[in-house]
Amino acid sequence: MKAIKIPEKTVTRLSIYLRCLEELENAGVVRISSKQLAEQFGLNSAQVRKDLAYFGQFGVRGLGYYISALRHNLERILGLKQNWEVALVGLGNLGSALIAYKGFQEKGFKISAVFDRDQAKVGRRVEGIQVMGTSRIVPVVRKRKIKIGMLAVPAIGAQAVLDLLVEAGVIAVLNFVPAQLTVPDSVKLQNVDLSVLLKTLSYHIARTGRPSSRKP
């Protein structure tokens, strides 16, 4: 039987649903309808039901979803019922901010290996983790069986570093490098270009502040 291909946008929305459910549960809410959940994100209830239906039947007819149960199911679907070790490559300003961010570990993602090509940084301990040279990526990542990588290096040479992560067995990479990088089909590459996101915000701000062209 052929496996159903889950749309990427559905997977993204699942993580957003989960965040919403966590907030509702902390607020003491026990149950929510698909319509109420959809209203949180400007979607329609049919979209929410369709997204969840890819993975099973979670609601109760006439009652909606029990928040605690749905949260646990989404955590299971998203692979958050286990802790994931992460290899970070690049200890510049962005890399330093990423390793200092406590939110990753709270969600089950622990940066446990840090690499940089700058020999002045190699050997230092940052957040309790010893920085290693990029020449150690393959043996260390392979030995620890780390499957997730974060790439925060300069664009020049980024592909070579990414290739090392792939060679080491990483199958998912969060890429902060503003460059077109390639990976095998078996590896998921998620690009995060902060400048593009800011330009998108700039576009919306510019349109909001633009005078109306309509005549009175």
pLDDT in tens, 134-150: 999 999 999 999 999 99
Domain spanning 8-77 has what CATH number?
A: 1.10.10.10
* Rounded mean pLDDT, 61-67: 83
Burial of 63 (0-12, 13-18, 19+ CB in 10 A): exposed
Return the pLDDT at 36. 86
Please, what is the angle between helix 8-26 and helix 45-53, to 10°? Answer: 110
Return the pLDDT at 210. 56
| Domain residue spans of the chain | 8-77, 84-197
pLDDT in tens, 179-211: 899 999 999 999 988 777 787 788 778 877 654
Per cent of the chain over pLDDT 70 is 95
Return the pLDDT at 96. 93
10, pLDDT greater than 70? yes
CB-facing half-sphere around the CA of 83: CA atoms within 13 A: 7
Q: Fold for 84-197, please state it.
A: Rossmann fold (3.40.50)
